[in-house]
Amino acid sequence: MVACSAALYWYSFSLYRRATSTWRWAHNIQGFVAYGAHEDVFSPDAARIAIAFDSRCKVLDLASGRELSTLEGYTGQGLAGFSSDGKIISRFRQDGPDRHVADLWSASDGRLLGSIRTQGDEGDQSPDPVFSPDSKNVVATIQSGLIAWDLSNLKQVAQVRVAWPEDQWLPGRIAWNPTKQDLIVADKDGTLLKIDFVREKALPLVPEQVKAATSLRFSLDGMRMLTVERDNGSVSVWDATTGKVVASISETDTLHASFSPAGDRVVTAKRRKDVVQRSRWAPQFWDRSTKIWDAMTGRMVEELPTTGIVTFSPDWTFMAEVGPEGLRVARSNNSESCYFPEWFDGHGSSCSFARDNSYLASVNGSGRVAIWRHRDPSTPWLVWIAGYDLLGTVLALAALAWAMAGFRPPTTPDAE
């Protein structure tokens, strides 16, 4: 009876949490890759994730939680990108005879599709190939500029000279316009340049650019562009069609800035000095402050009390915060906040929402993958709670009833 009561308490409590929560834990894939440092990259549609550890790389289908493929010939060269049409490309190798070679795979079956090669200068930093939004081209940065390849035949199509800053993080200085497929970069002087692959030239985007930029990003419709200024880390919103600044955001020391799906809001993150800690030590790079701004006026709309790295769902309905307290999911206005189990700590974690908000997938520093399902209001309540918790509750209740019936005191026959 004690065992049955304990099982009933365990399963009924889990069932209660499942019935009253907006998100439920669907998959916990602890051994998808071995314990230790790894690399991971989500597909643009957040339907798959590739995770590499040591000399092996596997692809996971996030909708089902099942392994999709293992990349053939992967030797630990690292992951650079995931294209919109389901291709994965590695980093360029650092050493050996195949230095400056990056491999390309099909994510669906793990088949090796071929390689791209560049004769980098001696002392070049290892470039990370970047897919164009339409998956037709891939570019990589080298010390002297950019190289572009046609992915249909893996042939080099252009090499453009760009003066990069030394010893600085380059990916934020490269941005594709998602609708026009234009590539814009910021050189060492902070000048915005448009890459002309046909003439192999980098041309000034704005003839009379006033402020030097260190990073840039486009809105989803390609109509607006964000730049983070070099001098004080302030943010400018540009009209991408006219090349004019339409709004200035008064934030300083900005570490990250991006548009909302509609392009009418801007989210920024910056380093904050008042470290918020509750129960876990917080590394310095987790000291974040998240603010929402009006993209047309530059006025602050809301400040979110976050201490971690925030990822918004595609429609900005939800946000996931990865920080010193683990993984937290809330409405974008910070309501309906909930924490996930402590075993899924935030150290080294990355996460992504499905495009339709049907699930949230995250992988932490140990390589453990977890997938949480979101309850659609149209989903029947019984369908939402159906699973092992419901089955365990019913079985535990039945076992307890049987045990109580079996241990009923014997009856004494009536005296004649």
Contacts of 125 (CB under 8 A, 6+ apart): 141, 143, 170
Q: Is 84 helix (H, G, I), strand (E, B) or coil?
A: coil
User: In the predicted model, is pLDDT for residue 319 greater than 70?
Assistant: yes
User: In the predicted model, is pLDDT for residue 84 greater than 90?
Assistant: yes
- CA neighbours closer than 13 Å in the CB half-sphere of residue 190: 14
Strand 235-239's sheet: what is its strand order?
213-218, 224-229, 235-239, 244-249
Whole-number pLDDT of residue 339? 67
> How distant is the alpha carbon of residue 84 from its chain centre?
14
Candidates 331, 327, 244; CA nearest to 292 is 331
For residue 28, CA distances in Å to 37, 53, 64, 344 come to 18, 18, 12, 10
> How distant is the alpha carbon of residue 384 from its chain centre?
26
For residue 110, CA distances in Å to 30, 69, 85, 286 come to 22, 5, 14, 35
User: Percentage of the chain surpassing pLDDT 70?
Assistant: 71
Candidates 353, 393, 355, 413; CA nearest to 23 is 353
Condensed to tens digits (0 to 9), the pLDDT of residues 39-74 reads 889 999 999 999 888 888 999 999 888 999 999 999
353 vs 10, higher pLDDT: 353
Q: Is 102 helix (H, G, I), strand (E, B) or coil?
A: strand
User: In the predicted model, is pLDDT for residue 367 greater than 70?
Assistant: yes
Task: Determine which of 195-204, 231-240, 315-324 has the lowest per-residue pLDDT on average.
Answer: 315-324
Whole-number pLDDT of residue 136? 95
CA 396/CA 25 separation, integer angstroms: 21
- 216 and 175 in contact (C-beta within 8 Å)? yes
pLDDT confidence band for 287 (50 / 70 / 90): very low
pLDDT average, residue stretch 315-326:
79
Does this model's pTM top 0.85? My answer is no
pLDDT confidence band for 280 (50 / 70 / 90): very low
Task: Determine which of 17-31, 270-284, 290-304 has the lowest per-residue pLDDT on average.
Answer: 270-284
CB atoms near residue 67 (< 10 Å)? 12
CB atoms near residue 166 (< 10 Å)? 8
- Mean pLDDT of all residues in the chain? 79
389 vs 216, higher pLDDT: 216
User: In the predicted model, is pLDDT for residue 14 greater than 80?
Assistant: no
pLDDT confidence band for 381 (50 / 70 / 90): very low
374 vs 338, higher pLDDT: 374
Task: Determine which of 7-21, 26-40, 232-246, 274-288 has the lowest per-residue pLDDT on average.
Answer: 274-288
pLDDT confidence band for 374 (50 / 70 / 90): confident
372 vs 185, higher pLDDT: 185
* DSSP-H helix ranges across 42-113: none
Condensed to tens digits (0 to 9), the pLDDT of residues 105-136 reads 999 999 999 999 886 554 455 568 899 999 99
pLDDT average, residue stretch 248-253:
88
CA 203/CA 189 separation, integer angstroms: 14
pLDDT average, residue stretch 78-89:
93
Place of tokens 């993080």: 169
Q: Is 389 helix (H, G, I), strand (E, B) or coil?
A: helix
